[in-house]
Structure formats: C-alpha cells, structure tokens
Structure 1
Amino acid sequence: MIELDSEKRDIMQAQDSLRRRNNKRTDLTQNGTKIPEKKEKEPEFVHRESLLTILMEESLHIKAIYHIFVAILQIIQGKSIFHRLNVAIASVVYGFGDIKRAFKIWLFELSLALLFYPGLRIYAAIRKLITNNSRACQVWAAIGLLSLIAMEGILIGATCWDLAEKHLAVGSSVAVTCEMFRFAMKICAVTVDCIPRCHGNGTSLPSFQQYGYFLFAPTLLYRDSYPRTKKIRWGIVLFHFSEVAAVIFYNCFLWERFILPYWSDYGKKPQVEAGTVVRGMFACVLPGLISFLCGFYCLLHAWHNAFAEIMTFGDRRFYEDWWTKSRYSNYYRAWNLVVSSWLRDYIFRPIAPYAGRPVAYVVVFFVSSVAHEIILALSFGFFYPVLFLQFGVMGVLLLPLTASAGRRFPSIFNLLMWLSFFIGTGMLWSLYPMEYFARKNCPPSKMDSFFVPKSWSCPEIILKPNWTFENPFDLEHY
C-alpha cells in the first residue's frame, strides 16, 4: 500500500509540474505584456494516468455516468437472458470465428516485425564497413530503402491478400488488420529513429530487448527508454480486461436488439419503402452513438491501460478531453493521441515545410481514411467508402469551417459537433448493415463486385403510394 501511494504521489507531482509549466507560458505582467522567459522543453513521456482514470477518481459525477452505462448493460443483459440464455454469446462466437486462422496471420505479422531487427543490424554493420566509400554508401542506402519498402509491402500486402482471398469473421479481421497497421507504423518509427545511428551519429542502436519492448508498448513513437512503473498491478489488469469483455458483449447486445430487427431481412423482398429505411436509420442513431463511445472506452482506455500496466508503461496519456472540443482540428488531435502523434511526426512534419500545412493536413487525413477503409473493407468483405467520405472528405471540410467560429462560440459548436456524431454514427450503423445483408439476402447477379455496392440496386427503394404529409399547424385535425 505504501508503494502504491508513493507511486501515485509521483504521478500527481509530475502532472502538477506540467500544469505549472503550461501556466507560466501565459503569465502576463500588470501592463498586459508577456513576461519573456527561457523556453524549457517539456518531456514527451512522463508518469501520468489516463484522463478518465483521474476524472473517475476525483469526480463523483463522472463515476456516476460510468455506473449508468454499467447499469444499462446489466438491464439489457437481464432482459436478454430472460428471453434466451445464449443471447450475445452467439454473436461473439460468430464475430470472432476462425480464431485459429487469425492467430496464424498475427504470428506472420509478428515474425516480420521481429525479422526487421536483424535486418537493421545487418544494414548498420555493412554501412560501417563502407563508410569511407560515398558511392557505395549511396547504393547501400537505396538497397536499405527498397528492402524496407518490400518488408512493409509484404506485411500489408500479404495480410490483405489473405483476408480478401477468404473472408474472415468481422471481429477477427478487425484485430489482425489493426495489428498489421500497428506493426507497420512501429517499423517506420524505429527506422526513422535508427537510420541516423546507422550512418554514424555516435549513438548506438537499440538492443533487442528495447526493440521487443517497443513492439508491445502502447505507443507508436520509438524511444530507447520510457517512464516505467515499479510493479504490475494485476488487479488493475484484470479489471480493464473485464471492461473490454463487457464492451464486446455490450456491442453484441446492441447488434442483436437494434440492428438485426431492422436490417436482417433487408434484401429478401424486391422492394422496400423509403419510410421503413428512414425509420431504421433513426432507430440506429442512439445505439450507434453508444457503440461509438463504448468503442472509444474499450480501445483507448481499457485496452491501452491494461497493456500499459502489463508493460509497466508509465505514461497513460492515450487521449485528451475530446468530448469538450468545439473545433474539429482539436478533436482529431485529442481523440487518439497514440495514432495522431505518429501521423504528426512521420507524415505531417516531413511534408509541411515543403508542401505547406494545408497539403500536409490533406495527406494526413487521406492516409488515415484509407487505413480505416481497408480495415472495414477486409472485415465486412466489401468496399463501401461511407467512413472514407465522412472522415476523409467531410472531416477535411470541417477543419477550416470550425477553426475560427469554434473558438468564438465554443458551446454552440460543441453542440454541433455532438450532433454530427449522432448523425454520423447513425449512418454508419445503418448503411454498412444494409450493404452487408443485401449481399447475403439478394439473389446473385452478374453485376456483383467487391467494389460495387449491392444495396444500391437490391432491393428497390420506393415511396409509399399516396404518400402524404400532415400539416402540424392544422388545429382542426386535433
């Protein structure tokens, strides 16, 4: 208990020091001018807990909201068990089906990631032997670059080919494709950090132990060392993994209670009324947003904190208070700091000085949108770029639209941002199931393709005959 208290005290002291530094930056004199001071570079990784962990410890209000979600899960679960005992279990088993094949694909990805380390050592050793021959160094650098591209290509290409050749269950496919991109980004991070060392900047290459730790640490930025906690709190690990399992079941309940009743028969009849489709979309708005919030909590809080505890990784800052933002630029940065920091360091910053910040922003959004779309396409078994249009097109357009107005009217634009979350998640939870069940229920056609949406042609969406609108101001009607 004494060790835990001292560790918690160290974390709080580090957070307080960071807050004091941030406050010093904006200190003003009495005449309103900024006090000139020497800039002190803040440490990138420090001991600190995740924001929700701090909020739930310090605020009973946040803790109550957490309890509300748990209570909703228990009520849904109780209602479901009352009807049939195997509710949601079938969806979990189906969603994570063929786990053996998924594990083989993951082992292939891990093997390539581990193989990168001896390749890096070989490159550095040969580069040291030919360091006095500039022509040979140029040729060897080109060979090293081509080898890196080939390894990344095999890692991504072979995984995508395998999943496209034979469809894997949705949950298993999401897991292996996310791991594919995670390993690819970690290899890129190590390469950027270690190439100057290979070219003789006086710093030694990381040991295999350091590289292996980085492969499983919850960060995509490589450093030789990170802040480490003193011991593993296995109770915390078990608690967070139980939260991950609960969220998986939570989403399966939402799927069975809100998606299947509206969309499981989609495509069995040649025609469907537009009103039925609209009602189904509105019915999916609330469960879609709940799934969105649960997905955030599951991956960026529970899962990352569980692995951070196992790896004794001290910096638990995986996200910021994105729910309070009024500008989309701030939201995108705060939503997922693990990925956004990688995109910032390895895509945005190298491109911005040469092509400009707007072009760099577009490239970042394009790369991120394509990665998300690959995950969804391989998981569902079809290409339907709804998320790409929402994230890669609308997301880019909303950046300048909310840049100044969101700063001037934060409350209004925070409300509008949440409204867009409701609409966007409702569309995702409607359009993807419509396409999924249209491909299952509609009869085969010569026009069927991985890239052509089936739901556009089957079933036919028609307006109800004699469609009329009621006048809400007609008092005689009442």
Structure 2
Amino acid sequence: MTESEKFNLRRRKQDVITQNGITKQDEEKKGLPEFMHRDSPLTVLIEGSLHIRAIYHIFVVILVVLLCDTVIYDFVERGKINIGATSVIYGFGDIRRGAKIWLLELAIALAFYPGLRLYAGTRKFLVKFPAALKIWSIMGMLGVAVLEVMVIAIPTWDLGKKHLALASSVAVTCEMFRFAMKIHAAAVACAPRCQDDLVKLPTFKHYVYFLFAPTLVYRDEYPRTKKIRWGVVLFHFLEVTAIIFYNSFLWERFILPYWSDYGKEPKLLHAWHNAFAEMLTFGDRLFYEEWWTTSQFSRYYRAWNRVVHSWLRDHIYKPLSPRAGRVLSILTVFAVSAVAHEVILSLSFGFFYPVLMMEFGGFGLIMLPLTASTGRRFPSFLNLLMWLSFFLGNGLLWSLYPMEFFARKNCPQSENDSYFIPKSWSCPEIVLKPNWSFQNPFNIIF
C-alpha cells in the first residue's frame, strides 16, 4: 500500500468523526459515542501526507531562520548571543508568585470534591424534611458558585494589586478560567447523582484525572490508550518550547525594534493538549477540527477549539436556548467568551484595551450571518477572506497591544492615567523607530 493509499484510508476513518463539523447532537443522532479513540487532525495529516509534512518542515525551517537571524542580530548589535532567552525569562518572571497563585487555584478546585461528598451525605439525612432539603439544595448551588467566584476573583484581585510578568499572568489567568469551567462541569454532572442513591458519586481519583485531562466535559471514564509513549510527550513539549521561542523571536526582532521606544522622549492547542493526553493516556484527541479549510465563521468558532466549544455548548447554550431562544443564546456565548478572553489579556498586560473583544465579539459576530450562506456558495473566496481577516486581526493585536504596553512604560505619568483609558492615545511625545518620513513620489528629478 502506497503512502497516498494509507493516508486516504486513515482519513476515511477520521472523517467519520470530523467531516462537516459533527457536533454532540450529530453524534447522538448517528449513534456515535461522544468520546472515542481518535487522533488530532494535524497528527493524521502530518503522518499520512508527505505534502502536509513538507509544509510542517517549512515552518520548522522558518523557525531555524528566525533563530539564525536573531543570533546574528544579537552578535552585531549587542556583542553577545541571546537567542530570545531574555524575553522568555522576562515573560515568565516572578515564577514563584505565579506558582503560588496556581497552587491556590488548584486547592480551590480540589475543595469541590469534599464539598460534593458533604453535600451528598447530608442530603440523605434531609430527604424526609422537604423544606430543609430545599434550603440545602440552594446552599449547595451557592457553594459551587462561591468556589467558581473564588477561583477567578482571588487571582484577579492579586494580579490587579501587583502586575505579574506577561507569560506568567497568561498562564495563571487561563488556568483560573479552566478550573472554574471544570468545577462547573463536574457539579452539573454530579448533581443528579446526589438525588439518586443507586448511582455512585465519582471517586477522588476520577475527579483529579478530570482536572488535568484535556477536556472540559466531565465523564467518569474516557477512552484510554494502553501505554504512555514518552517520546511523543517529549516531542510535543519540545513543540511547545519551540512555539514559545518562536514568539520570542518575533517579539525581539519585529516588535521591540519598532515599538519599544513608543512614548519615550527623543533619545500553544495542538502540542499542549496532545502532550497531556499522552501522559494521561487520554484516547480522544480531537481537540480541534480542520478550521483552516472553513469558509464560515460559525464553523470556525466550533472547530478551532472543541474543548472550550463543548463546555460553552453544554453549560451555556443548551440550558439557555429553550428559554431565551437561539439568537440570544448565541449572543450570550459570544459575550461570555469575549469577556473571558479580555480578562486574561487585561490582567496579563496590566491594562484594559479591548482590541480582541472588538475583533472577536464585534467583527466576528457580524461575520456569522454574513458567511452562513455565502460560505457554502463561494467556499474558496470566503476561505481566502477568513485567512485575510486572521492575518489583519493578528497584525492589529501584535501592533496595538505593544504600543499601549510600551506607552505605559515610557510616557510621563499623569493624574488622568487610568487602567481603562489607553495611555497611547494621550502620550505627549511619540518616537517611532525607524524615523518616519514621507516623500512625494511624483517629484522626480532627472
């Protein structure tokens, strides 16, 4: 069997799951289980297609070229070789404080389990007292809500009081939302069991596994692989490291030289999820679908992060849509997601500058109905438009956030400075590198 035939056979097996963006409802209609043994789309494509593997190698070569460019630049400009390490170390600065915040978040998440046991055990004694049982049920819901608020509010208060380094802030803020979503998912899944003595509650081992498994949908059991391939784990963590340095090279070579003097007076889903899936022998690795081929924004939002999409679908959209309708439910999902992303960025950078919120909750929301039918009629053109919007959107993010970041570092302090008002809009003196000049293109001297 040729490489092409092997690839096509494997793709046909994978397409049972990924074709046309099958959702949970589609799986139930077709009799397919929600979780099953399946690889990530990129794993299938890279292993099965020499052409896709060549594209992957191109990106590796780009990383090597950026590395060489950074080495030469450091040697010529600074007389020493840095290879992006300074930005990485600076980004993950004060890692002890970051680790303490994360351990606090973990402790709050773990506190849910003894609380669940206490709630279920007490509930058995209150079955004969309906009034007391109702009060206890309300207290149980409030208890879950308190844990969710604590796991978000305490890190937010701490980071608001004193800014943490950028990468460390991103890590702890992403984790606080992840733990909050895990607590909510486990509470929803276990609530019916507290009312039925015939169904056992999950063990502590089950709950701890869920906390670290690359999924936000709680189940007692998931499809598991037979063994851990530590070589695969190492490879994916090396990919994560490469992505960190890739961004460091971009930061040092294309952001710092142009934006670091702004305001002065003149003078990672695939690799990370797959690494943890391999360590936890988690069999279902469809963390995303082939979003890069889509021509509809709605399909993109479902496909690019199935882990978060599944949580939003099960715990916001599905409970809300029967009461509020489809449109309001979709708006709520977008609002929750946009606010969560903006909180992460605000706490990480140390200022509120809702560029991503406007892109995601503004432009992205508008494009949902506009690409719903045109995406099917003109798939190639709309896919091109999608990629154009991705590049433009990321270009704005990579420009506006660094401008504001360095403006707050370099511009003179003012009484009117605010966490919520961009400093880059009012900075009295702005210097950009290189010095900009304009020349009349028609003023040609022969």
Common fold by TM > 0.5: yes
Matched to 2:16, the amino acid is R
- Alpha-carbon distance change, 347 to 466 in structure 1, aligned in 2, over 3 angstroms: closer
Q: 1:286 aligns to what? A: none
* Residue 194 of structure 2: aligned partner: 198
Root mean square deviation, CA, Å: 2.6
Per-residue CA distance 1:268-325 (angstroms, 9 max, x = gap): 148xxxxxxxxxxxxxxxxxxxxxxxxxxxx211110000000000001000000001
| Deviation for aligned residue 1:201 | 6.6
Please tell me the residue identity of whatever aligns with 2:13: D
Q: Deviations over 1:395-439 (max 9, x none)?
A: 111111111111111111111111111110000000000000100
Is 1:101–2:97 an aligned residue pair?
Answer: yes
1:378 corresponds to 2:374: no
- Structure 2 residue 16 is matched with structure 1 residue 16: no
1:237 aligns with 2:233: yes
> Out of 403, 411, 416, which is 2:380 matched to?
411
1:52-451 alignment to 2 at 5 Å? 52-82=42-72, 83=75, 84-200=80-196, 202-269=198-265, 299-451=268-420
Distance in 2, matches of 1:307 and 1:392, equals 30
Partner residue, 1:273: none
> 2:296–2:372: 8 Å Cα contact kept in structure 1?
yes
Could you tell me which runs of 5 or more consecutive residues in structure 1 were left unpaired when the two chains were aligned.
Answer: 1-8, 26-37, 271-298
Q: 1:359 to 1:465 in 2, by over 3 A?
A: same
AA aligned opposite 2:335: F
Give the SS at the match of 2:131: helix
Shift of 1:41: 2.1
In 2, the alpha carbon distance for the partners of 1:250 and 1:110 equals 29
Partners of 2:136 and 2:175 lie apart in 1 by 30
How far apart, CA to CA, are the structure 2 residues paired with 1:367 and 1:21?
Answer: 26
Give, in angstroms, the shift of residue 154 of structure 1: 1.2
Pairs within 5 Å for 1:26-45: 39-45=29-35
The alignment partner of 1:87 has SS state of coil
Following TM superposition, by how much is the alpha carbon of 1:460 offset from its aligned partner in structure 2, in angstroms?
6.0
Residues 296, 382 of structure 2: 8 Å contact kept: yes
Decide whether the 8 Å contact of 1:50 with 1:316 is kept in 2.
yes
Question: Would the alpha carbon gap of residues 16 and 167 (structure 1) be closer, same or farther in structure 2, given more than 3 Å must change?
Answer: same
Amino acid at match of 1:441: N
What is the aligned partner in structure 2 of residue 274 from structure 1?
A: none
- Equivalenced residue count is 424
Kept in 1: contact 2:38–2:285 (CA 8 A): yes
Equivalent position SS for 1:43: coil
Q: CA deviation at 1:79?
A: 2.7
Mapped contact 2:265–2:430 kept (Cα < 8 A): no
- C-alpha deviation, 1:87, in angstroms: 3.0
How big is the shift at 1:129? Answer: 1.0
Change (3 A) 1:477 1:60: farther
C-alpha displacement at 1:459, in angstroms?
4.2
Q: Taking structure 1 as reference, are residues 124 and 263 closer, same or farther at Cα in structure 2, changes over 3 Å only?
A: same
What secondary structure, in the 3-state scheme, does the structure 2 residue paired with 1:238 have? helix
Question: Following the alignment from structure 2 to structure 1, what is the Cα–Cα distance between the partners of residues 14 and 273?
Answer: 24
Query: Aligned partners of 2:326 and 2:58: how far apart in 1?
Result: 42
Counterpart of 1:229, as a letter, is T
> Secondary structure at the residue paired with 1:242?
helix
**Aligned residue number for residue 280 of structure 1:** none
Contact in 1 for aligned 2:14/2:38 (Cα 8 Å):
no
Note closer, same or farther for the CA distance 1:416–1:18 as it changes in structure 2 (3 Å cut). Answer: closer
Closer/same/farther in 2, CA of residues 121 and 411 from structure 1, 3 Å limit: same
1:465 Cα deviation after fit: 12
Report the CA distance shift for 1:22/1:376 in structure 2 as closer, same or farther (over 3 A): closer
Question: Are the structure 2 counterparts of residues 198 and 18 from structure 1 closer, same or farther at C-alpha, using a change threshold of 3 Å?
Answer: farther
Deviation at 1:235, TM superposition (A): 0.4
> Retained in 2: the 8 A contact 1:15–1:48?
no
Aligned in 2, Cα 1:258/1:465: closer, same or farther, shift over 3 Å?
A: closer
State the Cα deviation string for residues 192-239 of structure 1 (Å, max 9, x = none). 000011112732110011111101100000001000000000000001
Q: Taking structure 1 as reference, are residues 17 and 196 closer, same or farther at Cα in structure 2, changes over 3 Å only? A: same
% identical equivalent positions: 61
Stretch of structure 1 that moved more, 126-135 or 325-334? 126-135
SS at match of 1:455: helix
- Please give the alpha-carbon distance, in whole angstroms, between the structure 2 residues aligned to 1:106 and 1:341: 24
| Cα 1:18–1:246 shift into 2, 3 Å | closer
SS in 1 for 2:423: coil
User: Closer, same or farther in 2 for the Cα pair 1:415/1:151, shift >3 Å?
Assistant: same
The one-letter code of the counterpart of 1:423 is L
Measure the CA separation in 2 of the matches of 1:330 and 1:267. 41
Q: Secondary structure at the match of 2:412?
A: coil
- Give 1:455's match in structure 2, choosing from 424, 436, 440: 424
TM-score (normalised: structure 2): 0.90
Question: Would you say the 8 A contact 1:320–1:335 is kept in 2?
Answer: yes
Contact conserved, 1:14 with 1:46, CA < 8 A, in 2?
Answer: no
TM-score with structure 1 length normalisation?
0.84
Q: What SS class does the counterpart of residue 424 from structure 2 fall into?
A: coil
Within 1, Cα distance between the matches of 2:241 and 2:218?
29
